[in-house]
């Protein structure tokens, strides 16, 4: 009888623990959902500000209601879920970038640092940029590079592009074109137009591709294509063309210019080939 009572108490305790955990996770899910709804409304208001801000003054009074709406909803998101890094990041941008009533750059900086340290990739990238541009301390470059690498680990497109530029120019670190190509390649896959242009132009210049990229491309190519050096060069041109087309589709004028350059080069090569063929036939 005592054994039965003991097993019954164990079952009740287990059920209580499971129910408590379920209740905790349900409450957490509810708070996260509420926070994301507030963030969506705040982001919608901020997106409208960005749409018209180029056509008016930064402190235009007509923007105030939208900025207030964005700020209130990001603050409500933090109240609903204090661990939400997205709300911290967007609220920090409001304080640092926009002329919102009650804006405080110190508060914005604190929120940005918190979001970055909590693992938000966008915040890590923004913080790295602020440290490099606005901070005159001796270790600012090292700290900026630390957060930049953290954002790159999460494949944040802007961070990948910036790190690619750093590797390409040899700014603060040893120049490494291969690493730059890899960064541009991954950022381009994420839809970054600038990275697509940089990646395509390096392909045309004959930059050596990292093994992680060539292994994937070679796996898709037939053996005869892999052995033909002319086909390799042609493949580089086609890869570059795809990058420029992606950039052009995203609205980048530079992508259109590069496509025009390729078209003119193809026409010139075609004319030269015709002249060479005519000479051989004489």
Domain residue limits, the chain:
21-118, 155-282
Sign of CA dihedral 240, 242, 245, 247: negative
Whether residue 81 contacts residue 87, with contact meaning beta carbons closer than 8 Å, is answered with yes
pTM of the entire structure? 0.77
Torsion of CA 141, 142, 143, 145, to 10 degrees: 80
Q: For residue range 224-278, what is the model confidence (pLDDT) as tens digits?
A: 444 444 445 558 889 999 999 999 999 999 999 999 999 998 888 876 666 666 6
- State the pLDDT confidence band at 32, using cuts at 50, 70 and 90: confident
Cβ contacts of residue 241 below 8 Å, gap of 6+?
200, 259, 262
Residue pLDDT, tens place only, 43-64: 999 999 999 888 888 778 888 9
3-state SS of the chain: helix, strand, coil percent to 5?
A: 80, 0, 20
Cα separation, 48 vs 41, in Å, equals 11
What is the arithmetic mean of pLDDT over 64-74? 93
Q: Domain 155-282 class?
A: mainly alpha
Q: Is a pLDDT exceeding 80 seen at residue 191?
A: yes
Contacts of 246 (CB under 8 A, 6+ apart): 188, 191, 193, 196, 255
Phi and psi at 138, nearest 5°, equal -65, -40
* Residue 22 CB coordination number (10 Å): 10
- Contact residues for 28 (Cβ-Cβ < 8 A; gap 6+): none
């Amino acid at each position: 009888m005592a054994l039965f009572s003991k097993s019954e108490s164990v079952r009740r305790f287990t059920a209580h623990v499971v129910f408590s955990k379920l209740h905790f996770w349900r409450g957490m899910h509810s708070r996260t959902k509420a926070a994301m709804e507030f963030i969506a409304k705040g982001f919608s208001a901020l997106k409208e500000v960005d749409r018209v801000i180029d056509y008016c003054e930064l402190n235009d009074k007509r923007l105030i209601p939208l900025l207030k709406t964005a700020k209130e909803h990001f603050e409500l998101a933090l109240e609903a879920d204090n661990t939400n890094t997205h709300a911290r990041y967007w609220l920090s941008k409001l304080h640092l970038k926009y002329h919102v009533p009650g804006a405080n750059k110190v508060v914005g900086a604190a929120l940005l640092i918190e979001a970055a340290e909590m693992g938000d990739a966008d915040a890590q990238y923004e913080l790295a940029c602020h440290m490099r541009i606005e901070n005159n301390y001796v270790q600012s470059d090292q700290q900026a590079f630390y957060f930049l690498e953290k954002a790159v680990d999460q494949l944040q497109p802007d961070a990948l592009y910036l790190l690619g530029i750093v590797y390409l120019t040899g700014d603060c670190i040893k120049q490494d074109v291969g690493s730059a190509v890899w960064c541009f390649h991954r950022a381009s896959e994420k839809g970054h137009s600038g990275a697509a242009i940089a990646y395509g132009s390096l392909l045309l210049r004959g930059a050596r591709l990292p093994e992680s990229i060539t292994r994937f491309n070679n796996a898709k190519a037939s053996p005869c294509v892999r052995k033909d050096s002319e086909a390799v060069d042609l493949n580089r041109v086609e890869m570059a063309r795809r990058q420029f087309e992606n950039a052009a589709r995203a609205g980048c004028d530079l992508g259109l210019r590069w496509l025009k350059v390729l078209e003119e080069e193809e026409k010139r090569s075609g004319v030269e080939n015709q002249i060479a063929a005519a000479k051989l036939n004489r």
